């Protein structure tokens, strides 16, 4: 089957779904190719056992680590991509993240564009994804041309108490920016019911601002947009000079199909986009498409993170917990010369999900059942920036499989941030020794598999010798090939990546609309 489109977009997640959404109004013919299907709506969406213990919504892919050992990566092949399972914490990078930042393990390089360049696109992305937040509370945030489109999600009493305790301790807790379709002022009209199974779960009632609900579903039925699910792109073909992608090869229902488009935008997720370009090597691009600089697949990042459960004597009956953040340690402090990162809340632990944990991790409270632990738990997520190291990279073997080599960076900063969390906990009545790791969140028991925040692999820049993409996210070496997922990040900062991918897709979308006008 052959068909020609103005734009072919590969992958329907934060990058690809958002790009399709913004280009749809141009009237151009768009083909959205997604290897997964729609995520089924079923009671199991909100059941911790299938979600966390059985990994029902995690792909069955096998990737290989540096020793050639296979592992199951935390990737999600659905319309909407990883956003179907995400926690919807929709942060902007800090202005300082766009500049060069010195870390204990090296340099986080400057972006070719500044925060000011991104600001209008962040504003547009927050509007599209209906982000709830409260500007001005977090001293590290950049200027905003508009307030958040929705008021911040309120803290429940236990979290409000923690926030008050922190403020009294001299910290600057803020309401975490959040993409859920919650209308707290008019609850009967709210799509979101504010439940406890959000972060890491699909939303059964389609109330999460994920790329399927917000970006792709509204396009269904539009005459100029075609979505093909179960359509895995396996190769990109070029013309003889190697300057133009002329064929997008798809495996669908066991058949090989080829589509053509004036523009091809890859957005398969950082590892899979690199895989596709590497597996598309040809005479003119012997090391992979657009890889004359040997940068494709390199500089893979996914954050140096830690999920912990802090226990207090009092119960934590919070339902929706992901409402608070602390950036007091995001950059250097007077006591420590390096940036440490971000602390935020994550979804509330429950006993069923914790069953996936190693039993010895809970032995310190011998008289407590898992339910007791879960009832008292307050759950934190610590994120330290990891650096774009060339040796941290995606490669493919002769069978086209992903091999991921990764060594962590900034471990000292991450350890220091954990130490700061313990001090923070002392201000909130949660003794430091009552803290345990929460590995089931984001598959963290196998570090390299916890690739939820994957980024890098095709970074954008002005120098073709050190980057894959130009500032419009077009491959330096090809005239019609773009990459619009988190691959383009030259550095990852220490906040969650999705809003930046969405904002960038809107930015690239305007460039493409101008180019095709
Ligand atoms: C449990 C979890 C919690 C998270 N929480 C947050 C959070 O709170 N805040 C935040 O900012 N980020 C969060 N993230 C990360 C966020 O979801 C990702 O950063 C974001 O979705 C990345 O967007 P993307 O477009 O690069 O990739 P994705 O959204 O993963 O989209 C890639 C798409 O490409 C498709 N695809 C892959 N290969 C092919 C192929 N060969 N052919 C066709 N299609 C293909 C995939 O099926 C997928 O739909 C979380 C992720 C997870 C897993
Ligand atoms: S909190 Fe709201 S958005 Fe999240 S899963 Fe529940 S209903 Fe869906």
Strands (E), 134-269: 150-151, 173-175, 225-228, 231-238, 245-252, 255-266
CA atoms of 376 and 111, how far apart (whole Å): 42
Residues in contact with 335: Cβ distance below 8 Å, sequence separation at least 6, in sequence order:
none
CA atoms of 429 and 389, how far apart (whole Å): 39
208 CB within 6 A, ligand 2 = yes
Query: Angle at the Cα of 170 (from 376 to 107), degrees rounded to 5?
Result: 90
Give me the phi and psi of 469, to 5 degrees please. -115, 155
Q: Which two tokens stand for residue 177?
A: 């920016």
213 CB within 6 A, ligand 2 = no
């911790």: which residue's tokens?
48
Question: Which ligand approaches the C-alpha of residue 35 most closely?
Answer: 1
What is the per-residue pLDDT for 395? 98
Q: CA torsion sign, 107 to 113 to 118 to 121?
A: negative
pTM: 0.97
In order of 181, 184, 327, the CA distances from 132 in angstroms are: 9, 11, 18
483: nearest Cα among 463, 499, 460: 460
As beta bridge partners, residue 333 has: 336
162: nearest Cα among 149, 181, 175, 147: 175
pLDDT tens, N- to C-terminus, the chain (517 residues): 447 999 999 999 999 999 999 999 999 999 999 999 999 999 999 999 999 889 999 999 999 999 999 999 999 999 999 999 999 999 999 999 999 999 999 999 999 999 999 999 999 999 999 999 999 999 999 999 999 999 999 999 999 999 999 999 999 999 999 999 999 999 999 999 999 999 999 999 999 999 999 999 999 999 999 999 999 999 999 999 999 999 999 999 999 999 999 999 999 999 999 999 999 999 999 999 999 999 999 999 999 999 888 888 788 999 999 999 999 999 999 999 999 999 999 998 887 777 655 544 555 556 677 778 788 889 999 999 999 999 999 999 999 999 999 999 999 999 999 999 999 888 887 766 677 777 655 555 567 788 999 999 999 999 999 999 999 999 999 999 999 999 999 999 999 999 999 999 999 999 999 999 9
CA atoms of 49 and 283, how far apart (whole Å): 49
Q: What b-and-e string marks burial along 13-45, b requiring 16 or more CB atoms within 10 Å of the CB?
A: bbbbbbbbbbbbebebbbbbbbbbebbeeeebb
89: nearest Cα among 209, 193, 269: 209
Q: Which two tokens stand for residue 265?
A: 């935008």
Task: Choose the residue to mutate in 321, 453, 457, 473 for probing ligand 1, maximizing ligand atoms within 8 Å of C-beta.
Answer: 453
* Ligand 1 mean position, distance from CA 419 (Å): 30
Q: CA torsion sign, 382 to 448 to 273 to 114?
A: positive
* Ligand 1 mean position, distance from CA 250 (Å): 20
Antiparallel, parallel or unpaired: β 70-71 and 63-64: antiparallel
Residues in contact with 102: Cβ distance below 8 Å, sequence separation at least 6, in sequence order:
108, 338
194 CB within 6 A, ligand 2 = yes
Task: Choose the residue to mutate in 41, 84, 192, 322 for probing ligand 2, maximizing ligand atoms within 8 Å of C-beta.
Answer: 192
């590497």: which residue's tokens?
278
* Ligand 2 mean position, distance from CA 323 (Å): 13
Query: Angle at the Cα of 11 (from 460 to 385), degrees rounded to 5?
Result: 45
3-class secondary-structure state, position 119: helix
Neighbour-count burial of 275, counting CB atoms closer than 10 A to its CB (0-12 exposed, 13-18 middle, 19+ buried): buried
Task: Choose the residue to mutate in 197, 206, 210, 213 for probing ligand 2, maximizing ligand atoms within 8 Å of C-beta.
Answer: 197
């Amino acid at each position: 089957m052959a068909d020609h489109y103005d734009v072919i977009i590969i992958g329907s997640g934060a990058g690809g779904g958002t790009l399709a959404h913004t280009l749809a109004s141009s009237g151009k013919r768009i083909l959205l190719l997604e290897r997964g299907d729609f995520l089924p709506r079923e009671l199991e969406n909100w059941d911790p056992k299938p979600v966390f213990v059985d990994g029902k919504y995690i792909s069955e892919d096998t990737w290989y680590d540096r020793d050639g050992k296979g592992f199951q990566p935390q990737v999600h092949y659905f319309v909407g991509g990883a956003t179907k399972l995400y926690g919807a914490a929709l942060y902007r990078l800090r202005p300082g993240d766009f500049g060069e930042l010195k870390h204990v393990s090296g340099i986080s390089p400057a972006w070719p564009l500044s925060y000011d360049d991104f600001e209008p696109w962040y504003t547009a992305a927050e509007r599209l994804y209906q982000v709830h937040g409260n500007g001005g509370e977090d001293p590290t945030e950049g200027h905003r041309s508009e307030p958040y489109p929705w008021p911040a999600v309120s803290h429940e009493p236990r979290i409000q108490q923690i926030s008050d305790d922190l403020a009294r301790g001299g910290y600057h807790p803020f309401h975490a920016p959040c993409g859920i379709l919650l209308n707290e002022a008019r609850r009967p009209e709210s799509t979101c019911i504010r439940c406890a199974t959000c972060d890491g779960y699909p939303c059964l009632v389609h109330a999460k601002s994920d790329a399927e609900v917000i970006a792709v579903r509204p396009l269904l039925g539009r005459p100029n947009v075609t979505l093909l699910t179960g359509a895995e792109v396996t190769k990109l073909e070029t013309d003889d000079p190697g300057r133009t992608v002329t064929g997008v090869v798809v495996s669908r229902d066991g058949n090989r199909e080829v589509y053509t488009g004036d523009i091809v935008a890859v957005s398969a997720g950082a590892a899979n986009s690199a895989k596709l370009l590497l597996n598309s090597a040809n005479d003119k691009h012997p090391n992979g498409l657009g890889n004359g600089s040997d940068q494709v697949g390199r500089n893979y990042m996914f954050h140096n993170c830690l999920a912990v459960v802090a226990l207090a004597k009092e119960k934590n009956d919070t339902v929706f917990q992901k409402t608070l953040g602390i950036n007091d340690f995001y950059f250097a402090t007077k006591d420590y010369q390096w940036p440490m990162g971000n602390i935020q809340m994550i979804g509330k632990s429950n006993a069923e999900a914790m069953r996936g944990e190693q039993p010895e991790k809970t032995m310190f409270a011998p008289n407590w059942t898992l339910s007791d632990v879960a009832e008292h738990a307050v759950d934190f997520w610590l994120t330290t920036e990891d650096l774009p190291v060339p040796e941290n990279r995606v490669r493919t073997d002769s069978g086209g499989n992903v091999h991921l080599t990764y060594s962590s960076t900034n471990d000292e900063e991450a350890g220091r941030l954990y130490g700061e969390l313990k001090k923070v906990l002392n201000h909130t009545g949660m003794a430091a020794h009552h803290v345990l790791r929460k590995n089931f969140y984001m598959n963290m028991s196998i570090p390299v598999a916890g690739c939820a925040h994957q980024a890098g692999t095709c970074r954008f820049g002005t120098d073709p010798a050190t980057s894959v993409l130009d500032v419009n996210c077009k491959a330096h070496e090809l005239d019609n090939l773009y990459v619009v997922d988190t691959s383009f990040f030259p550095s990852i900062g220490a906040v969650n990546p999705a809003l930046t991918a969405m904002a960038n897709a809107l930015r690239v979308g305007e460039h493409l609309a101008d180019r095709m006008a």
